[in-house]
Structure 1
């Protein structure tokens, strides 16, 4: 099987000393492409170096809503500079209304600035959303959807929200959280996603699948997401792998 892990954070310092071995394990199970997403300005240069060293890694640069208070005055121009190099995507960006103390208005302003930059540069986006589904959809509609595509990563919304996001140009990505027996909402959503909009991810080094030795997650574990999606959609792991590979290559290159 050929696998595309469509959302990770491999520039994370927790895995810095194990990257070569981790990439070997990923290749052993068929992982041939990995999108690694920056979350703040200090991530971007290490991520750029990592992608140069490992050709399987595609970089995405962005400001995650948890880090909106860390921005430098010229952050948007700096971000544009990173995005203009090669085939970089925009991400991880988004909204998180589940965390107390994060200013919602500032989250929205940073999210919109990044959506508009991605549109100007014709780049796909990787989006984080927690407890902000209605507002995210409102803002995406206001901006004309995702004209160059995007992924809602580690999807946790309803079946109805699957349909809303797909209409706006989004792909729907599932992580190891779908292996949890009590995650019934995501399981229903995974069965409902259009075949041509389905993606897989690990969110490494976080969201370790159930019954997988830790403490940290890694791209090789995306095979566990493939297997449970195959069960939920009543197909084979090979079909899930081929479909999600084609979808992710079409979206991220």
Structure 2
């Protein structure tokens, strides 16, 4: 059996409360032996940290654009202090979202940039969220410079034309269950534009369930892997090896 890495999930979600051991065991049975659990706001950072005691669970901490209105005056200091304490934690989930109701894009940009700079200062990889704000993201990356310590653009939904720009900025491109929908031609085209060394996959669980699946968890990563195999023409074992090697490079060597 192959061994694969879920590059983005949210095990801290209340949907997993009380069943995390079972969820992780089901994932391992399918070869999903490691995963990146990403925080989204101050109140879930403690739970994300708690989850890092589980074998194969790696963590990132960050302020998601959906939750910037919830931030405390000390959110940045709190985040920096936690990153100092947890030296293997990445920075994420951070980013831009112009698809939510009444987005404050100026505030989103300020908070995103501050976290990009913090990741550079702390020498950590980033996990970036972007919806309907790809032009803004390109401008910020051009202004801020290459992502020094790597990271991913998670659950990529942008056009194929921007893939090379994001790769040149130091980012890997990760695809979620959205890639499994037959009508998602945009994602299929973007996938084929990604350099093999920059390809990652994720569940983004419990959200972004694959086609035909009612609920989502890290074990469903195999469904995404199968679709990537079909679309690229690589065998499932070739995709698995590629994904694992890329994850090791982006997030650092991990033991499972």
Name the counterpart of 2:107. Answer: 106
CA RMSD of aligned residues (A): 0.8
For the residue of structure 1 that corresponds to 2:49, the secondary structure is helix
CA deviation profile, 1:57-100 (whole Å, cap 9, x unmatched): 10100000000101111111110112121300000000001112
Q: How does 1:23-172 map to 2 (within 5 A)?
A: 23-52=24-53, 54-84=54-84, 85-172=86-173
**Structure 1, unaligned runs of 5 or more:** none
**Structure 2, unaligned runs of 5 or more:** none
In structure 2, what is the Cα distance between the partners aligned to 1:80 and 1:246? 29
For the residue of structure 1 that corresponds to 2:17, the secondary structure is helix
**Displacement, 1:150?**
1.2
In structure 1, what is the Cα distance between the partners aligned to 2:232 and 2:124? 30
**Displacement, 1:145?**
1.9
For the residue of structure 2 that corresponds to 1:232, the secondary structure is helix
**Displacement, 1:124?**
0.4
For the residue of structure 2 that corresponds to 1:17, the secondary structure is coil
**Displacement, 1:205?**
0.6
In structure 2, what is the Cα distance between the partners aligned to 1:86 and 1:222? 27
Name the counterpart of 1:221. Answer: 220
In structure 2, what is the Cα distance between the partners aligned to 1:245 and 1:237? 12
In the superposition, the TM-score normalised over structure 1's length comes to 0.97
CA deviation profile, 1:186-221 (whole Å, cap 9, x unmatched): 001111110000001000111111122x3x310000
In structure 1, what is the Cα distance between the partners aligned to 2:89 and 2:66? 21
In the superposition, the TM-score normalised over structure 2's length comes to 0.96
Q: Aligned residue pairs: how many?
A: 250
